[in-house]
């Protein structure tokens, strides 16, 4: 038996200085907070994927 209920998914790595990633990360925190009305693990997984896929220019953006 696995104690999956108490295991949080890996915290997504938001890109430094990216407002979109920061907003997604903040939503992710709420979605993984059991005391939060926005608590929703499957949504948290979606958000983590969205953060990991958010594109960033390697160099300075034009
Ligand atoms: Zn980003």
Read off the pLDDT band of 3 (50, 70, 90): low
What pLDDT was estimated at residue 2? 55
9 CA distance to ligand 1 middle (Å): 19
Residues in the chain: 62
Rounded to the nearest angstrom, the distance between the alpha carbon of 16 and the centre of ligand 1 is: 8
- With beta carbons less than 8 A apart as the criterion, state whether 32 and 10 touch: no
Q: Give the whole-angstrom CA distance, residue 54 versus residue 2.
A: 31
Q: Report how far ligand 1's centroid is from the alpha carbon of 34 (Å).
A: 25
Please report, to the nearest 10 degrees, the dihedral formed by the alpha carbons of residues 13, 18, 24, 28 taken in order: 30
Model-level pTM? Answer: 0.76
Q: Once rounded to an integer, what is the mean pLDDT over residues 2-25?
A: 80
Q: What is the reported pLDDT for 38?
A: 97
The mean per-residue pLDDT over the stretch 40-50 comes to 95
User: Could you report how far apart the first and last alpha carbons of the chain are, in Å?
Assistant: 52
């Amino acid at each position: 038996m696995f104690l999956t209920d108490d295991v949080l998914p890996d915290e997504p790595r938001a890109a430094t200085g990216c407002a979109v990633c920061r907003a997604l990360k903040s939503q992710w925190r709420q979605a993984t907070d059991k005391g939060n009305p926005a608590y929703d693990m499957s949504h948290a997984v979606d958000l983590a994927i969205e953060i990991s896929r958010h594109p960033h220019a390697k160099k300075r953006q034009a």
